Amino acid sequence: MKAGVENAQTVLTLEDVTFGYGGNAVLDTISLAFRSGEFVAIVGPNGCGKSTLLKIMAGLLSPGHGAIKLDDRPVSSFSRKNLARHMAMLAQSNEAPAGMVVCDLVGMGRFAHEGWLSRGTARDIAHIDAAMQTMAVTDLADRRVGELSGGQLQRCRMAMALAQDANILLLDEPTNHLDLKHQYALLETARMQAATGRAVIAVLHDLTHASLFADRIILMDGGKVLADGAPADVLTPENIAAVYGIVTVAKTFGRAIVHLPESAVE
Ligand SMILES: Nc1ncnc2c1ncn2[C@@H]1O[C@H](COP(=O)(O)OP(=O)(O)OP(=O)(O)O)[C@@H](O)[C@H]1O
């Protein structure tokens, strides 16, 4: 565990969660606990159930069996608005209202905090401004969403999630559409969010990024958790071969673990 999060508390738990779409089983008896102050990367091959797991955590899907608890209370017992005060999710889908201007899109992140008489308060505006600055989209504030590039939109959507000011951040492939600089900036932002005590749980495909930025990696395969722990313990060539079916050579650069195809290494 990182320095500074010794007092970390378990904020989200999954107990024996199973889920399937129709008759097709996707998640198989998954039990996990997430703590405040940790940045957890969920990795694994296409179709292994990562996004489904995130949607289950967010209460967007109900498990067939098992329980999901937020601060020891079933997620299903929270109203959507109350849940949004605790959890923000950056979904994989890039859909957003094309005619809306960026500052209003980011402002949608504040809906959980707004009451009938307290809409657009100074506090809301401060959170919106801070989130836009963090994601370097302030200069896009008056642009229409439909006119943005893919990367610009992704950064605005992340700003919306940050504006929500929730204790748990669920990020589904957050670096999608981003260039290298903005990929690193987003992952650094995610790490900083964890450093302030939030639980950050991100689905990532780039294992090097996961090793570089995450405190803990959950490796999934076929709807199950194959490994869960520190990056160096999870991202072994044995685990990569078992899950992705490729033979790799692992090189380390500081925290970063890079898996290169064995056939391409001299
Ligand atoms: N709405 C849906 N209806 C039916 N099947 C679905 C639905 N969404 C996902 N699936 C199936 O569930 C399985 C897990 O999908 P999921 O999106 O969770 O995987 P993933 O690990 O996030 O994949 P990727 O890395 O490709 O994004 C896949 O076989 C997928 O085809």
The pLDDT value recorded for residue 234 is 98
- For the chain, give the mean pLDDT: 93
Distance 28 CA to ligand 1 centre (A): 14
What is the tally of structural domains in the chain?
Answer: 1
The pLDDT value recorded for residue 3 is 43
Question: Residue 25: inside a domain, yes or no?
Answer: yes
In this structure, the residues whose C-beta lies within 6 A of any atom of ligand 1 are: 21, 26, 44, 46-52
Rounded to whole angstroms, the Cα distance separating 147 from 29 reads: 43
Distance 30 CA to ligand 1 centre (A): 16
Domain with 125, as residue range(s), is 10-264
Per-residue pLDDT, averaged over 225-251, amounts to 97
Question: Residue 182: inside a domain, yes or no?
Answer: yes
Question: Residue 171: inside a domain, yes or no?
Answer: yes
1 pLDDT tier (thresholds 50, 70, 90)? very low
The pLDDT tens digits for 41-60 are 999 999 999 999 999 999 99
Strands 168-172, 24-35: pairing kind: unpaired
Lowest mean pLDDT among 20-24, 51-55, 115-119, 255-259: 115-119
Question: Residue 145: inside a domain, yes or no?
Answer: yes
Ligand 1: atom nearest CA of 220 is: 21
The pLDDT tens digits for 208-220 are 999 999 999 999 9
Distance 26 CA to ligand 1 centre (A): 8
Question: Residue 181: inside a domain, yes or no?
Answer: yes
In this model, does residue 151 exceed pLDDT 50? yes
ipTM greater than cut 0.95: yes
6 pLDDT tier (thresholds 50, 70, 90)? low
The pLDDT value recorded for residue 111 is 87
Rounded to whole angstroms, the Cα distance separating 49 from 29 reads: 12
Question: Residue 2: inside a domain, yes or no?
Answer: no
The pLDDT value recorded for residue 4 is 46
In this model, does residue 87 exceed pLDDT 90? yes
Ligand 1: atom nearest CA of 22 is: 4
Check which CATH number belongs to the domain holding 184 and give it: 3.40.50.300
The pLDDT value recorded for residue 51 is 97
264 pLDDT tier (thresholds 50, 70, 90)? confident
Question: Residue 3: inside a domain, yes or no?
Answer: no
Distance 134 CA to ligand 1 centre (A): 31
End-to-end CA distance of the chain: 36
Per-residue pLDDT, averaged over 258-262, amounts to 93
Task: Among 19, 52, 175, 226, say which to mutate for ligand 1: greatest number of ligand atoms within 8 Å of CB.
Answer: 52
Distance 51 CA to ligand 1 centre (A): 7
230 pLDDT tier (thresholds 50, 70, 90)? very high
Ligand 1: atom nearest CA of 173 is: 27
Per-residue pLDDT, averaged over 249-255, amounts to 94
Distance 197 CA to ligand 1 centre (A): 30
Minimum CA distance residue for ligand 1 atom 5: 21
Question: Residue 5: inside a domain, yes or no?
Answer: no
The pLDDT tens digits for 118-137 are 667 888 899 999 999 999 99
Rounded to whole angstroms, the Cα distance separating 76 from 211 reads: 33
In this model, does residue 63 exceed pLDDT 70? yes
